[in-house]
Amino acid sequence: MRRAVLWITLMAVVLATRPAVAQRPATPAGGSTSLSFEQVKGWIEAYKAAHPGNRGKDWDINAKTPSQIAADPAAEQLLSICGKDQRPVIPLMAWEYGGSDHQWVNPQKSALVYCVHTPVKNPSPNWRYDAASDQVTADVYVKFPDQNPCKNQQGASQVAACIGDNTNFEIFVDTASINDGHDAGLSLDNASTALKLILPDGTKAHLWDDK
């Protein structure tokens, strides 16, 4: 009995004197963590092959209505790549609308999938709307950072150096205020946008301002 008491006492001393381990910043999370780069790439290629019409606009899953998505299991699958209150921006499929509609420029230079946080009714650490300044602040991250062609760049250049064309940032901006925020009870028609990039270590870098 005396030995047991002594052992417990020694363990308590060891635990009490053990140095605290610093917590790392939270890393980007969301969607299925079991998905592989090649698996998702296959989904994208299959979806494009199955939807050849409308000059490629039928590829744009983020432009589909809820009823269209509900009737399209493959689109639902692609939309599940990112987590709750996020949308995947897939350069091989994405479009920018307004003025002269166009596909993502030079998608072969970009990452396979970017995840963009989308409007929520209450501010979150990843998305918020400041009504006083009429500005959205939204986070973006690369879904498969190990396959990011700009993974060796520093900070925001991990996206900016592989954006293909600066007009592609508008697709991120539009996604960050998808449906003008109406799904979250907001009106973001004229809001400016500040995009932040979540880096693989969980820290953030300023990415883009749209005023």
Structure tokens at 11: 């363990």
pLDDT at 7 over 60: no
Question: Is residue 173 assigned to a domain?
Answer: yes
CA distance 155 to 171: 20
Question: Is residue 172 assigned to a domain?
Answer: yes
Give me the DSSP letters along 142-169: ESSGGG-TTTTS-TTHHHHTT-SSGGGH
Structure tokens at 163: 């954006």
Mean pLDDT, residues 26-48 taken together: 83
Question: Is residue 60 assigned to a domain?
Answer: no
Whether 82 and 117 have beta carbons less than 8 Å apart is answered as: no
* pLDDT 10s digits, 130-183: 999 999 999 999 999 999 999 999 999 999 999 999 999 999 999 999 999 999
pLDDT of residue 100: 85
Report the candidate in 209, 203, 171, 208 with the shortest Cα–Cα distance to residue 28. 203
Number of domains composing the chain? 1
Question: Domain of 107?
Answer: 85-210
